[in-house]
Amino acid sequence: MRHGRHHSRKRAVLGMLAAISLAGCAEGQLQHLVGLQPGQLIDRPPPPVTVVRDGPTGELIAGPAAILVPDAAVDLAVAEPLRPWLTAIERRRLAEASQHAADDYVLQPTPWEATDPTGIRTAAGEAVPVDNAFRAVRGQICRDVRQSMVKSDAAQEQQVTLCRRDFGNGLFVWVVGDGNQ
């Protein structure tokens, strides 16, 4: 036991001495040691950096990332009165737009539309955050969103409270909830 502590302390001291000796090297000597030509450390442009906010459902600073809505959560993110009017793909588009609207910093509408395989639009609408996000009574983060759709010249609109639910592995999805719970 004592012998092991002595070796680990000795390794730590040797590592510290190596770091000090490298720090004391002139720039040319250090470049020679690591195999670089003069000027490479200074003249090399920095690597590109991608900044992501909020895990897999966040946005890239350079533009929006695809918002992940698991199949099991699509119907959970659409207001119940709108569900019977929409097909599965239309509900998915509305759920994705609602995710973006709930995550958005500003109160701007997020348009959505669905098309059939021939490219003809079957339904369209928008999801608009009504106000800022808030903390519900039991601690959930929620936001009121107005979901709307136009299909076959019939328009429907419903305001819902969407609350963030953890679907595991860092995936949070806004689903219809109750801000009073």
| Contact by Cβ (8 Å): 161, 181 | no
- pLDDT score of 3 more than 80: no
Asked whether residue 49 is domain-assigned, the answer is no
- Whole-number percent of the chain with pLDDT over 70: 63
pLDDT tens readout for residues 120-132: 999 999 999 999 9
Asked whether residue 107 is domain-assigned, the answer is yes
What integer pLDDT is reported at residue 14 of this predicted model? 64
What integer pLDDT is reported at residue 159 of this predicted model? 96
Total domain count, the chain:
2
pLDDT band at residue 11, thresholds of 50, 70 and 90?
confident
Asked whether residue 50 is domain-assigned, the answer is no
Asked whether residue 88 is domain-assigned, the answer is yes
Residues 62 and 12 in one domain: no
pLDDT tens readout for residues 21-30: 555 555 555 5
Residues 124 and 35 in one domain: no
Q: What is the mean pLDDT of residues 38-44?
A: 58
Residues 28 and 91 in one domain: no
Q: Which residue has the higher pLDDT, 63 or 10?
A: 10
Residues 101 and 123 in one domain: yes
Beta partners for residue 161, in sequence order? 144
pLDDT tens readout for residues 129-181: 999 999 988 888 999 999 999 998 899 999 999 999 988 888 889 999 987 76
Residues 106 and 36 in one domain: no
Asked whether residue 79 is domain-assigned, the answer is yes
- pLDDT score of 81 more than 90: yes
What integer pLDDT is reported at residue 61 of this predicted model? 46
Asked whether residue 181 is domain-assigned, the answer is no
Q: Which residue has the higher pLDDT, 169 or 103?
A: 103
71, amino acid identity: D
Q: Quick one: which of 106, 96, 80 has its CA closest to 159?
A: 80
Residue 99 main-chain phi, psi, to 5 deg: -60, -45
How far apart CA 95 and CA 113 sit, in angstroms, is 11
Residues 95 and 140 in one domain: yes
Residues 112 and 163 in one domain: yes
Domain of 26?
Answer: 2-43
Question: How many residues appear in the chain?
Answer: 181
Residues 70 and 97 in one domain: yes
